[in-house]
A and B are shown apart, each in its own frame.
Chain A
């Protein structure tokens, strides 16, 4: 499969702390990649470097053959790489539907549509439908139609997570970076949320990188796992290989793997 994103020799230091050391990762189109590691291992730094929030000290990030290392977050978003956040970043005064319309408005404006002198209801680029229809469609895919007119402030945790991710879909991303999509969500909700997110993302056709601490979620949804420890990549392989790697077991997975082994021996009902 074609490589859509290529991180080459990324290094990042914050004073004496090494946040990234010789990070090399080529991400293939349409793949689902799980990023694992303990807190401070460098997962979020990796995502932040891809999205332009922080710049690597050395190295480069190539997206679809174009070097995006020096671009700003908004330029990278426009190029087709979108992200969600560990703590949902929503607009407290807007309703769920207004969130989508605001995001779609930005997409229209970036495409030179929806400006001061535009008339009618132009189709949103990539979605081929007017903004209202696209908003309803994305909300439906994420199971958010029932919350359409609710203010973001009053939404439950799981719904906030879904809205945060749904908001990234308005730009029709080629690559979607999900920072801990199930953190702060109850154990019962986790798989439901991930099922919904993955089927919605698949429908939109995006490559996914997701940061996750729950190894059950990783083993079930990731096709490939990149394990981080102390700013380095210590494993990069399919989940069944990466999660049984001795270094990964020692530094990343720890006790979680034993629980996973037990659950795999007695699978979910």
Chain B
């Protein structure tokens, strides 16, 4: 029987409620992507955060993290007030102190070492988006011991890109989503350019048949983006480079190569001296001004490479005027690529990819590049003044990030990818990879790292910036005996091109006093006691370790700034509480990492949309204040008064790096009409705020392609201050800088490696990309540790920050170890079983989940879900602590000893990039009584002073409705 409702539906329904009292724009910081957001405020609280439709990064969309910003603002783990440690390090026992006392303590510690030896300060930041300030501050203090977390994350990508093509994936370039016909993604990229990649994939997959594109994903794990790929290659971790070399082998073997592009835009034709044993063997033939030569096809003689009418030979051996032999660098490239060990059959077993598949994909790349070329009728002028009436696109694009970066062969693998792009002629053309201004820059860029003995003086600024790009061995930061000058050994023979430093080695080296002891470790938002470290357990022990002779901590002082109660807080002596990203000014500067896109240059700011309800201060303000208290040059005026009493907001506007060049490029000049270069404009921030907190300038159509050789682009970039000179940037198939290091290892030149490093430098400083098995793998028996162990980043979480977020932790609150179904069956392991994951370095216990979409020799888990109980405002028995784990403690920060006992860091030998994806493990099934919780279990942290009890129910938003309905 059907009854009528007791009464007809007559719900009072307001379909047009007022959403908010006020909407403020700013820039998201829930991950590294830097999307524009609109924050709706109601009664002084965040009602709603949405993507800003006008913003160049995200065009109105927003990811799960961005929308969950409201719960990070509401986190119970927000620090409340400066803290001074009272218990032992690691126990998390603190008293609250006033800011004056906190800054007084920091000033006292730092002042003492600044006048003694500024290197005794190691200042390392994490996922810091204000490196234009923090790096400069380190320089003003006088210490070379500065870096952010790039050495842990992406320096292989940055260095390989900047030394090869003057740009790189993600930060300095992007696929041309609108035109590409073939997109290849290597490894995970789930939080790097998170929304731009999603927007791009949606566009690419949504194209009409006929103009459709193929998306190829090369990744040991089929999650995230790989799930929607047309084709997924379950490659064995660490072998991407070999696959790429095989693809290049096939293209070259069949002449599916853009020789015209190579001749015109790369150093393919530059003559390389062939004189084994000579001090200049393998270097380019150059004149006194340093200009290279080519062998001209028409005149059949050596001519300057930049001769308008010349056409280089790309093969052959030629006799130089001095009687010596030289070959075009491309001949060396061809010799390398066509080597039989790069044939598809030869790489198949190692990569796990069938030879037929490799051949087919090479054919598909060739087809997309050469049979589907794009012609756009945009007239443009090249740097030699030649006019072209169109741009020609080779619509193959690529993106690579973590899966390549975090291996000890990542630098050369990324180099191989860039070489593949060059062979296809697909860099900065329609449908290919496109630079984001201010890139391209010269390859390598010009700034050199500073930190030699003559550059470090008590009480004085460092002689240059701490991080830069060595152009040869003479730019290393080593003492005359070859020992490292920096605490992390960046720019030493152990990590010569460490352009982002080695965050992962700072604590281990400082603890050991190798190369020297430090006094103060000053960290900002980097969770070194947990998921930002290799050997995380050991790192925490080193932080808490005392010298038994003196009873003092081996690292005497630890200052830490963070906004939240992360695991690292417990190991600090002094905690400087930061604000959330919604409570401060910030600057996404072109001097750091741009938010530009292929068609424009852009930068952005954050503005405070909320006032903190706690006694916290923006870290950047604190740093400027501390600098003034220390009397650092540039931070005090002639009378010793603070130069920027208005804090970072004032610095962003007033500070000039060079005349006319400041932190922000938009609305410069007294009247705000200048872009790029111009006098400081006191009203600049208001203009940013009125424009959605970003500035964007579109390039003219004829400045958008082939920018390394585009006269109008180069002129504009120089006027803007991005380049020193409007000179072309020749892409580097062959990297001469690497050969200079190799020559040094062979005993040439003024700066030579100590004997014990020579073999290693000679091996890995190959001017051409090559593949080698990841270093850690080489040192162990495959039968003892048969599986690769890697992590993937869930799209809805960013490092540890997500765990304090009441919503995001409901999506990812614990993590199993994922094992291929066939592998699990072989090991008699089923879903729900628990295993010990055992590496040569440690053991971790975790529950198992089986799946099909994973390379059978690989196990994996989600990154940074596991937490120490009590951290991040969580209950001691939270699933993050009891059913979550991190694999960082399985990864040693050092490689096994060399003969003689020396241990290199577990890093890429070229860049020092932390090689945490090299990990190999075995699985041991747990006994039934062991299946209660993950291991190791650290003792839970107690709450910090002043922390409110955790709420048992969260009714966020109820008050908005109450007010709406009963105003």
**A and B are partners in one complex rather than unrelated chains:** no
